[in-house]
Copies of this chain bind each other. A is one copy, B any other.
Amino acid sequence: MKSYIETHKERFFEELFSILRIPSVSSLEKHKPDMQRCAERLVELLVEAGADEAAVYPTSGHPVVFGQKLVDPSLPTVLVYGHYDVQPVDPIELWHSDPFEPEIRDGAIYARGANDDKGQLFMHIKAFEFLVREGGLKHNVKFILEGEEEIGSPSLAAWAKENKERLAADIILVSDTTMISEAVPSINCGMRGLSYVEVKVTGPNKDLHSGHYGGAVANPINVLCDMISSLIDKDGHITVKGFYDDVVELSSEDRAKLSRAPFDIDEYKEFLDIKEVKGEAGYSTLERTGIRPCLDVNGIWGGYIGQGAKTVLPSVAHAKISMRLVPNQDSETITRLFSEHFNAIAPDYVKVEVTPHHGGDGFLIPISSPAYKAAEKAMTEVYGIEPVPSRGGGSIPILADLQRILGIDPLLMGFGLERDTIHSPNESYLLKQLFAGMEAIALFYRYY
């Protein structure tokens, strides 16, 4: 595939940039037309790459793109999953270039979605094109590209249920994760699940003058801080009642295997410019993101947040809180437990509301499976080192759903790197990862 990439590189950039330029932010209503445009552009790219058929399918939310090339029913079938929606770009002022006008700087593409997931799904389209045109495709290949991954895939599960036949395959192949480092390729063999809620704490029924009422009336921001603070104890354990009930403790053997992944805590701290890491007592940093659940406030707001000072005792305070879950924890159960707990700990002097956003379960992939073995071989060939099996801290909740609905395991060959700062300003994707990914994917088909 190397020389194919060399020959077609400029066209590849043009094609990838054409989808990066579309601001397909799924969480913002105003980008609805961009979702449709992006889906249509992907259909064009799939057909140009060699798909026999490809189309945009409406759902109750943003549309899905499905395309396929069926070579021979007796051959194995690969279902490629990707998502064309992206995260919002705030804080926009921290971007060094327009998030929707991709730029190549220092060997990387800078744009929202450069990695997550437009860049990574594009590798699959190009590996497929190479196999169709030059490699002799020996698989049936299907693509399912959704527009709602960043908002929890509210529509894809239903669409998948209605289109079970169409999606039938032997493996779900996904590139939407990171490798451990540039020098240490890895394959994700498990992902955390997610429970995401929004909470609202109401004190007095109107904003008050903090001088007239301060000290006598509960301030909902202070109360929200108290409540959030109480959710994690001093050992880093989450205090939500029943939260750990379904968490399976890993054997010391399994923990030893995972700990083989090279990891330099000093580099990690330097990369983040922090003096100390922080997490659950008794677990390493990799374990804290790989095999343990956690709770984070993703956003908080209340009172006066403009320039200068305002002496207000506000009526309400809000927070967005998410919990990363490990396999066996059920997202809906955790959301319910959180809601019960948060209501139970609310003091008399406030009212609280908990609204679930999206969620999803975690999952595990057997390392012994033929697909994992094929990916391992492919990556070893490209990187010259055997990839490490890792556990991803992030969540792709829909993959657990697809696994359940379709009865197919997902395999996560991700080529992102921490440096790509996905979900943050200046998201990027290294060109060498983009091209190495294409090669590894093409080789996967050879060995699968």
Residues of chain A having any CB pair with chain B under 8 Å? 27-29, 87-88, 90-91, 150-152, 178, 192, 194, 196, 198, 203-219, 221-222, 224-226, 228-230, 232, 236, 272-280, 285-286, 288-289, 292-314, 317-320, 322, 324, 347-350, 357-358, 392-395, 418, 421-425
Contact status B215-A280, CB under 8 Å: yes
Q: Would you call A192 and B211 a contact (CB within 8 A)?
A: yes
User: Would B424 and A206 count as touching, CB distance under 8 A?
Assistant: yes
Contact partners of A394 in chain B: CB under 8 A: 209, 211-212, 311
* Cα of A230 to Cα of B203 in the assembled complex, Å: 20
Evaluate contact between A288 and B28: CB separation under 8 angstroms: no
Contact B304 A309 (CB under 8 A): no
* Complex-state Cα separation, A304 to B299, whole angstroms: 5
**Looking at the complex, which one of B276, B292, B309, B423 makes contact with A310 (CB distance below 8 Å)?**
B423
Residues of B within 8 A of A207 (CB): 91, 421, 423-425
Given A214-B322, A299-B312, output 15 extra A-B contacts at Cβ < 8 Å: A204-B274, A208-B421, A209-B422, A215-B280, A215-B294, A216-B289, A218-B278, A221-B299, A222-B228, A296-B313, A298-B311, A299-B302, A299-B304, A300-B300, A312-B424
User: A303: which B residues are within 8 A, CB to CB?
Assistant: 297-300, 320
Task: Write 23 A-B pairs (CB below 8 A) sorted by A numbering.
Answer: A29-B307, A192-B211, A194-B311, A198-B309, A206-B421, A207-B421, A208-B424, A209-B422, A211-B324, A214-B294, A215-B280, A216-B278, A216-B285, A216-B288, A217-B277, A218-B278, A221-B300, A221-B319, A225-B300, A299-B302, A299-B314, A301-B302, A312-B423
> Given A272-B205, A273-B205, A357-B309, A279 and B215 touching (CB < 8 A)?
yes
Among all A-B residue pairs, the 6 with the closest Cβ atoms: A211-B394, A215-B294, A27-B308, A299-B303, A205-B273, A229-B229
With both chains docked as a complex, state the minimum distance between the C-beta of A319 and any C-beta of chain B, in angstroms.
8
Query: Beyond A211-B194, A216-B279, A393-B212, is A309–B298 a contact (Cβ under 8 Å)?
Result: yes
Is the Cβ of A211 less than 8 Å from the Cβ of B320?
no
How many copies the complex holds: the figure is 2
Q: A211-B393, A289-B216, A311-B322 are in contact. Are A225 and B297 (CB under 8 A)?
A: yes
Q: Are B87 and A196 in contact (CB under 8 A)?
A: no
A258 to chain B, nearest CB (A): 14
Given contacts A205-B273, A229-B225, A418-B212, contact A300 B317 (CB under 8 A): yes
A422: chain B residues at CB < 8 Å are 209
Which chain B positions have C-beta within 8 A of A224? 225, 300
- Distance in angstroms between the alpha carbons of A309 and B222 in the assembled complex: 23
CB distance from A272 to the nearest CB of B (A): 4
Counting chain B CB atoms within 10 Å of each CB, the highest count among A205, A216, A222, A421 belongs to A216
